[in-house]
Amino acid sequence: MEITKFNSCGIGKIVHARNKDTKNYFSYNAPYLLLNLKELPIHNKIFSMNKFNIFSISNKNHGFREKDKSILEFSEDMAIKHSINFNSIMFLSIPRIIGYAFNPISFYLYLNDDQKLMAVIYEVKNTHGDQIHYLDINNFNNKKFQKNMYVSPFIEMESHYEISLKTDNKNHFICNIQQFDINNKNIFFASLDIQLKSILNYNLLNFFLKNIFSTFKVILLIHYQAMKLFFKKSKFFSHSKNLNKKVNVK
C-alpha cells in the first residue's frame, strides 16, 4: 500500500451508517490536509503551524496535546516505543479553519523509502474533547481493536472496531471502520474517502473558499444526528470519564 509523501489537500467524503436498534445514515464532506511532518512548515501564506491563520494545525490538538511538544515529536516517540522503521511520516487531518476544527479521526502514516505504508496511528476524538490512539503495524485489512473510549451516546463501550485502509493510487486514501457488539453483530459502519492533490497557493486558497464553513457544519451535523436518535428513543449510554489512555497496538 503506497501513499504520497508530498504535502496535499483534498475533500474527504465521510459516511456514517448505524445498524442497531434505530437505523440511521448520513454523509458529509470535510476538508483534509496531508502533511509531511519532516518538511514543516510548508511555505504558504494561508497555512501556519501553531499560529492563527486561514488554515492551521496546532500541537494542542494532537499527539501529546502540549504547546511545546510537536506532532513530529509525538510520532517519533511512538516509533521508538514500538520499533517502527520509517523514512517519512505523513499526517492526515482536518485543519483548523480560521482557528476552529473538530477532528473525529486523524492519521499518522509511517512510510518507508518506497512510500509504502509500514504503520498507522489512528487518533480518535469525541465531542467531549477526549482523545485515544490505536496503532496498526504491517497489516491494514480488518484490523481488530477493542473500543476504549466513549464516542457516541447511543453506542455501548463493550464493542470492538475492525479498521481497513486501502488505496488504488498514491493520492487516493480510503478508510473503512466497522463496529461490532459483544455478540459480534455489526452495529455501525463509517468510511472516509479522499482524493488528494498537491498543495499550491492557488489551490489551497480555492480549497479554503469551498470549505470556509465545513468544520462548523461537521460538529452541527453530528449533534443534529444525535438529536434525531434521541427523539427516536435510541438507547442512551452516559458519558464515561474512565478513559483508557493506553495505546491499543495490533
- pLDDT tens-digit series, residues 132-190: 999 999 889 999 999 888 787 667 888 999 999 998 889 999 999 999 999 999 999 99
What confidence score (pLDDT) does residue 102 get? Answer: 79
What's at 209, amino acid-wise?
Answer: L
Say which residue, 164 or 207, is predicted with more confidence: 164
8 A C-beta contact, residue 177 and residue 159:
no
Distance CA 237, CA 5 (A): 41
Q: Is the pLDDT of residue 199 over 70?
A: yes
CB proximity list for 83: less than 8 A, separation 6 or greater? none
Instruction: Identify which of 241, 156, 79 has the alpha carbon closest to the alpha carbon of residue 146.
Output: 156
CB under 8 Å to 144, separation ≥6 — which residues? 160, 161, 162, 250
Please tell me the least confidently modeled range out of 31-35, 105-109, 195-199, 234-238.
234-238
φ and ψ of 245, to 5 deg: -85, -5
pLDDT at 160: 94
Q: Which three cell numbers stand for residue 177?
A: 471502520
Domain boundaries, the chain: 8-249
Cα separation, 116 vs 4, whole angstroms: 9
Count of residues in the chain: 250
Bridge partner residues of 179 (DSSP): 161, 188
